[in-house]
Amino acid sequence: MVDFIRDFLFRRKGKAPDGEPHDKAELRLAAAALLVEAAKLDGAFDGMERVRIASLLKDRFGMESADVAELIEAADEETELAGGLYGFTKEVRANFDNDERVSMIEMLWEVAYADGSLHDFESNMLRRVAGLLYVTDRESGEARKRVLDRLSGEAGGAGDIEG
């Protein structure tokens, strides 16, 4: 299973010779792995974070619930073996345009705030990942603001979100 995941993630480099967009499966696994890693940073990968990740992946990629559950499980296993963020961020940076990388940061902010607060480790990870993805501080800050605005709207007020 682990070899399959690694082959799946690192199978292709760059765009196809005919100029077609990159393989979305690569983004799915890399995105899921980064999201799972962000969820684990506060010491608990709880149900709320798992639900948020599943929702983000379903919305972003139009996946079925069963496929999302399998992807999250595979990403969880891969984060245990990967030994860091660099491989995932390298794959995303090499294959995805700036808008997609900013979208990835926005998804990470959503996971970081899934439990209603931002842990210092989560904030640090977001800064590191943004740098590794060549997303500017301004773009990351704007993504964070969009997430906070969206979450405060869902929660019925800004007082429910700490960070």
For the chain, domains (ranges, CATH) are: 2-7+24-160 (1.10.3680.10)
pLDDT tens digit string along 44-84? 788 888 999 999 999 988 999 999 999 999 999 988 887 78
Cα four-point dihedral sign 25, 50, 157, 43:
negative
Q: Contact 32/57 with Cβ under 8 angstroms?
A: yes
Higher pLDDT, 50 or 6: 50
pTM: 0.78
pLDDT tens, residue by residue, 124-139: 999 999 999 999 999 9
Q: Which residues contact 144 (CB under 8 A, 6 or more apart)?
A: 106, 109, 126
Mean pLDDT, to the nearest integer, of 119-128? 93
